[in-house]
Structure 1
């Protein structure tokens, strides 16, 4: 059994300023990435990483640090990369939330809601609407039960079908976030920019 290698924000900041900085892969949606990301990070959304893992890891011979909002998606990405044979993988402990809380700089763009907040809004809206609607149409309560069951399964399996669906919406997709673009960035871009 492999233990997950984590790195804290201070250690990552120091490594980014070293002569051989790690590659930082941010596995959040392009919308989340555009809102705020670590300078020099590459946006490789979790679903894209899973789908094109073998193509992407051909260009990851350096140490890799995975970043997401709080660490859950990065853990899934880490498992996928390790299963493909990549061993020099770390997860930023606490994700971008911990990075910002520690006072480290991020590049900011258009503010957007993170994926977890979107899931809470959609799930809560469906439950509220179906319960209120069940006054007139009693069978609508089963829609609320279905959402509750889906959320329970999501917690137990550490996956989220609603989150995966929301990640595909135009709001969360970037215009240039596809496998060829990501590979081109990994090949042609500097490994990392210095963090201020």
Structure 2
């Protein structure tokens, strides 16, 4: 694990995590992506606790977690937010999988796969690009319509600078991405089994 400074989330490389899991002594893996993303691909044996559920039920989750947990998402951003939420609840310095599932898969580590789905980042690119394209074309006929595309561009710039994405958060709430609602009792039972 790399600790760059005390305020930065610890990171665990895919190779290091794969080695720990292969030994059977690995930490529990909490995947904070949406249920749809989780069903498409996840680390074998990981437990899906979507970021919204984790934030809402962090006090309950805390009673079933210890420092032997690694947080995972697509790229590491949501996992870092989950680490911050759990730190605020009293469980600081949980490691995040460096590079998330993208790095895990790129390293050739084992993955359980389900039905293929578009990840949230790709959906954001489609929606944002479509809005910019349509408002650009409509702007030829309707003065000022292009300003909608400008606002989308400003939102994407803010998303990159703040490492958050309002459009991604909205898209994550669509039925396509949510899948069946995550039941906290099922999550807690799964965590008890892994303990």
> Structure 2 length as normaliser, TM-score?
0.90
Paired residues, number: 190
1:120-170: per-residue Cα shift (whole Å, max 9, x none)?
111111111111111221221121121112112212221111000000001
Q: Specify which of 167, 190, 194 is matched with residue 190 of structure 1.
A: 194
1:84 aligns with 2:84: no
Give the deviation of 1:32 after TM superposition: 1.0
Give the deviation of 1:26 after TM superposition: 0.7
Structure 2 contact 31–38 (Cα < 8 Å) conserved: yes
1:136 aligns with 2:141: yes
Range that drifts further, 172-181 or 38-47: 172-181
Aligned residue runs from structure 1 range 1-196, under 5 A:
1-87=6-92, 89-187=94-192, 189-191=193-195
Structure 1 contact 23–62 (Cα < 8 Å) conserved: no
CA RMSD of aligned residues (A): 1.6
Give the deviation of 1:179 after TM superposition: 2.4
Give the deviation of 1:87 after TM superposition: 2.9
Structure 1 contact 64–88 (Cα < 8 Å) conserved: no
Give the deviation of 1:178 after TM superposition: 3.1
Write out the 4+ residue segments of structure 1 that deviate beyond 6 Å after TM superposition.
none
> Structure 1 length as normaliser, TM-score?
0.90
Give the deviation of 1:48 after TM superposition: 1.6
Structure 2 contact 28–194 (Cα < 8 Å) conserved: no
Matched residues in 2 for 1:83 and 1:5: separation?
Answer: 16
Stretches of structure 2 that go unaligned for 5 or more consecutive residues are 1-5
Stretches of structure 1 that go unaligned for 5 or more consecutive residues are 192-196
Give the deviation of 1:62 after TM superposition: 5.0
